[in-house]
Every structure is written in C-alpha cells, then in structure tokens.
Structure 1
Amino acid sequence: MRRITPNIGLLNSFIRLTCGFTMLAWGTSKLVKRPYSTSTPLMVIMAGAMKVAEGITRFCPLTYLFEEKMVEMTNGNDEDMKSYDDLVNPS
C-alpha cells in the first residue's frame, strides 16, 4: 500500500483550518437557529469539515490529482500532447 505524504504547506494548512472552522461555526449557528430551513448549512458544514481534515492531515486530494495529471502529461508521448493541443487550441 502506498503511503500518502503531505502535499500542502504549513501556512496553507493553517489557512484551511481557519476557513474550515469558520465554515463549521457558521453552518452550526444557522442550523441551531432554524434546524429545518434548507440544506445550505449542511453543505457548508460538510465543506468546512473537509477543509479541517485537509488542514490536519496536510493532504489535499484535489492537489494530489492535479499533480498526478501534470506528471502524466509531462511524461506522456509527444503524439498525445499534439492531440491534446489540438483539442485545447483549434486554430
């Protein structure tokens, strides 16, 4: 099994923790005020919890996928890159 290493920096993790706890506090306060209003506070709470988890573990799945795709694109064949360039820039 492959070990997952941190892929975000310390400052980035602190920012994610701050934003995540802010989102959790806002969503919780909205749910306490009106528990059956809409699903918006629940989505904010889930996103905030995800940001807190990313800040604690210092691992972001989206950053990981982006880095893997970039490595795949740079190590790929030149023919694949030419076809990709044609799709992006049709001129």
Structure 2
Amino acid sequence: MGKQNIGTINALVRITCGLFFLTYGAVRLTKRPWNQSYWVVIIASAMKIAEGIVRYCPVTDVWQSQTKSSDQNQSADF
C-alpha cells in the first residue's frame, strides 16, 4: 500500500458519510431484502469507511499519478 494521500478532514468526511450510507443501506435492505441494489450501497460505504481509516484512496492515487505524468509530458514538449 502507498503512503497516505488524503487529508484528515477528507478522511473524517469519508468516515462520516460512509457510516451514514452504510446505515441507510442496511435499513433499506432489511425492509426490502429482494432488492440487491442496496448491497452496492453497503459495499461502497464500507470501502469509503476503510479509505477514511487508513487515509489512502486508490482512485486519488491513480488520478495524482496521471496528473503528474501528463504534467511531465507537457513540460518535455516545450
């Protein structure tokens, strides 16, 4: 795993929103167990909680590496 790439405030927001949507998905799933779309909400929420706890987001890491490589390519053109 790479180094931490999100800040403290970002991590707290991810944890808070993740817990909210995890609860939302779980409550909705208990009322409508045949609706499988709530599992997507639960899994995505759990992923956001984990990202907030470890302060590492793989999507942010890829985005930052793509931005750095495109900046280097543009500076080499000049």
TM-score of the superposed pair, with normalisation by structure 2: 0.89
Q: CA deviation at 1:62?
A: 1.1
- CA distances 1:2-28 after superposition (whole Å, capped 9, x unpaired): x51100000100000000001110000
How many angstroms does 1:34 deviate by? 1.9
Equivalent runs, 1:71-82 vs 2, <5 Å: 71-76=68-73, 77-78=76-77
SS in 2 for 1:7: coil
The structure having more radius of gyration, on CA atoms, is 1
Q: Residue 35 of structure 1 aligns with which residue?
A: 33
Cα distance, 1:75 vs structure 2: 1.4
The TM-score, its normalising length taken from structure 1, stands at 0.77
**2:11 corresponding residue in structure 1:** 13
Question: Percent identity, aligned pairs only?
Answer: 38
Q: What is the letter of the counterpart of residue 47 of structure 2?
A: M
Where do 5+ consecutive residues of structure 1 fail to align? 80-91
How many pairs does the alignment contain? Answer: 76
Q: Which blocks of at least 5 consecutive residues in structure 2 are unaligned? A: none
